[in-house]
Amino acid sequence: MSNPSFLITRPNHDLVTNYLYTWTEVIIKNAKNRNTVIYDLKKGKANKSILDSYIKKNNPNIVLFNGHGNADKITGINNEVLIEINKDEKLLSGKIIYARSCRSAKRLGISCVRNGATAFIGYKEDFILISTPEKATKPLTDTIAGYFLEPSNLVIQTLLKGNSPKESHERSQLDSVKKIKHLLSENATSEEKSLLSFLWRNMKAQVLIENNSL
């Protein structure tokens, strides 16, 4: 895959979405350095009507969703539904999707691929994010949150380098393994060690769905 264009939704209406919003800035910066076309639906623009309009008009190769959700939907600003099962799958036909949204790979991701999406990377269970309360106003300095957000950021960063969905998923998984090994070592603090089971759950929940895996 060469010269991808990508669309991002990044609402920021609560603590979790604001962390995703801010950590996605890293992805956007890297994309701009590669002269990648970016459609950034941030804050109030992360709504259904704008999403539909941008996808139909610009036809991005990759779509990154940041937001809450469940097995049947992905939401945007103020939890407005953006993509719903048995309703919006055709909008994502021909696209690579990464959804940083709880449980969206459990049913919605499968339905998207069955209806023409190239691939769907997401989570079949909740995406767990643990943060440091004192860092809430400066999420990028939160090293605890980094254990969860760095591996997930690697999915899209690897796609932007022209790698396949499989390679991007695996790169993220390898970073999680590396972090888990650190947490198991004597070099990890007690606070870091407490993250182990949650990071493991995120890694196991992250899945790649393609036609050949259905």
Question: What is the block-wise mean pLDDT of the chain (214 residues), using blocks of 10 residues?
Answer: 82 98 91 88 98 97 97 98 98 98 98 98 98 97 98 93 95 98 97 98 98 83
What is the structure's pLDDT at 35? Answer: 81
What is the structure's pLDDT at 26? Answer: 84
Q: Tell which phi-psi region holds residue 79, choosing left (phi > 0), alpha (psi between -120 and 50) or beta.
A: left
Please tell me the distance from the alpha carbon of residue 11 to that of residue 96, in angstroms, as a whole number.
Answer: 20
- Topology annotation, domain 5-213: Rossmann fold (3.40.50)
Give pTM, 2 decimals.
0.96
Q: Are 127 and 202 in contact (CB under 8 A)?
A: yes
Please tell me the distance from the alpha carbon of residue 62 to that of residue 8, in angstroms, as a whole number.
Answer: 9
Please tell me the distance from the alpha carbon of residue 185 to that of residue 172, in angstroms, as a whole number.
Answer: 20
What is the structure's pLDDT at 2? Answer: 55
Q: Are 70 and 83 in contact (CB under 8 A)?
A: no
Structure tokens, 103: 């449980």
| Residue 185 CB neighbours (<10 A) | 10
What is the structure's pLDDT at 3? Answer: 65
What is the structure's pLDDT at 161? Answer: 86
Query: Do the strands 5-10 and 73-75 form a parallel or antiparallel pair, or are they unpaired?
Result: unpaired
What is the structure's pLDDT at 76? Answer: 98
